[in-house]
């Protein structure tokens, strides 16, 4: 029976059931039921304060949900620490670039590769990743001295070097020029070949570029889910974004 179902329905990699997150009197997430299938590239969109980032942090272990359950590949990860989530093989990129400023580009990537792999494999992965994110020429530079877009790529490179099967990205294209955004979208599609992805994003054009299904957040809950074209044509979603009634 299990086999019959897997033919129609792919494996669930991330699931939340009745997830709520409250800060004092403020409800940031309210009863969110979310499911991500293996191989999917899902974008989370919604206006400011819709609860996307809070939801994201509940998945990565940076926040402990007030209520509800988070499971990753069937394992209950509710209230787990970020390093425990990462050790499952989950790659995370945060909204503000979190990099090792005082260390070189190469070492940043190496630290990501070395966590899960032996010394030789880590060296090879580091070299490969530096090429993939096109930072080979500045591998010896300190990351703190790089431009914003390059720092974002260093962080993406760190995510890729660990060879994750699930990747969570919070606004990967924030603050990038158009050209940089195009390359970032390319990288994300490349990651999607081997990993399932959840991407929190504001930029509608960027979401169109990486395609995939979209989940719309509004006032801490899921408003609707579907392909990008369908979602962007929906009158309720337009209301939410433009903030006025017909």
Binding mask 128-167 for other proteins (x = CB under 8 A): ---------------------------x--x---x-----
- Cβ closest to other proteins, residue 28 vs residue 113: 113
By C-alpha distance, which of 171, 156, 199 is closest to 36? 199
By C-alpha distance, which of 73, 13, 2 is closest to 39? 13
User: Binding other proteins by CB under 8 A: which of 18, 23, 26, 101?
Assistant: 101
User: Binding other proteins by CB under 8 A: which of 38, 69, 103, 228?
Assistant: 103
Alpha helices in the chain (DSSP H): 2-8, 52-60, 82-87, 105-116, 119-132, 148-161, 178-192, 204-210, 228-233, 235-242
Token pair belonging to 238? 């337009």
41-45 and 213-218 beta bridge pairing? parallel
- Cβ closest to other proteins, residue 136 vs residue 144: 144
- Cβ closest to other proteins, residue 62 vs residue 232: 62
Residue 189: CB minimum distance to other proteins, A: 22
Q: In angstroms, rounded to a whole number, what is the distance separating the alpha carbons of residues 94 and 62?
A: 10
Residue 196: CB minimum distance to other proteins, A: 17
Residue 123 touching other proteins (CB under 8 A) = no
- Using CB under 8 A, count the residues that bind other proteins: 26
Q: Using CB under 8 A, which of the segments 31-39, 93-101, 189-197, 228-236 binds other proteins? A: 93-101
Q: What is the number of alpha carbons within 13 Å of residue 200 lying toward its C-beta?
A: 25
Q: In angstroms, rounded to a whole number, what is the distance separating the alpha carbons of residues 114 and 190?
A: 21
Residue 99 touching other proteins (CB under 8 A) = yes
Residue 2: CB minimum distance to other proteins, A: 30
Residue 60 near residue 82, CB atoms below 8 Å? yes
């Amino acid at each position: 029976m299990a086999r019959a179902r897997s033919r129609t329905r792919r494996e669930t990699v991330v699931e939340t059931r009745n997830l709520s997150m409250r800060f004092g009197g403020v409800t940031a997430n309210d009863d969110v039921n979310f499911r991500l299938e293996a191989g999917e590239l899902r974008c989370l969109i919604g206006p400011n304060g819709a609860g996307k980032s809070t939801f994201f942090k509940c998945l990565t272990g940076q926040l402990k949900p007030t209520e509800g359950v988070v499971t990753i590949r069937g394992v209950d990860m509710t209230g787990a620490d970020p390093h425990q989530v990462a050790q499952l093989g989950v790659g995370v990129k945060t909204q503000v670039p979190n990099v090792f400023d005082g260390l070189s580009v190469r070492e940043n990537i190496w630290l990501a590769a070395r966590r899960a792999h032996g010394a030789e494999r880590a060296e090879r992965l580091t070299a490969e990743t530096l090429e993939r994110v096109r930072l080979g020429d500045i591998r010896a530079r300190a990351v703190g001295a790089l431009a914003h877009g390059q720092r974002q790529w260093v962080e993406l490179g760190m995510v890729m070097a660990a060879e994750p099967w699930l990747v969570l990205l919070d606004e990967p294209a924030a603050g990038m020029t158009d050209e940089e955004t195009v390359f970032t979208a390319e990288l994300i599609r490349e990651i999607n070949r081997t990993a399932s992805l959840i991407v929190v994003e504001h930029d509608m054009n960027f979401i169109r570029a990486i395609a995939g299904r979209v989940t719309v957040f509004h006032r801490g809950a899921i408003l609707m889910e579907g392909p990008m074209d369908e979602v962007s044509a929906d009158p309720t979603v337009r209301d939410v974004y433009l903030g006025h009634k017909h």
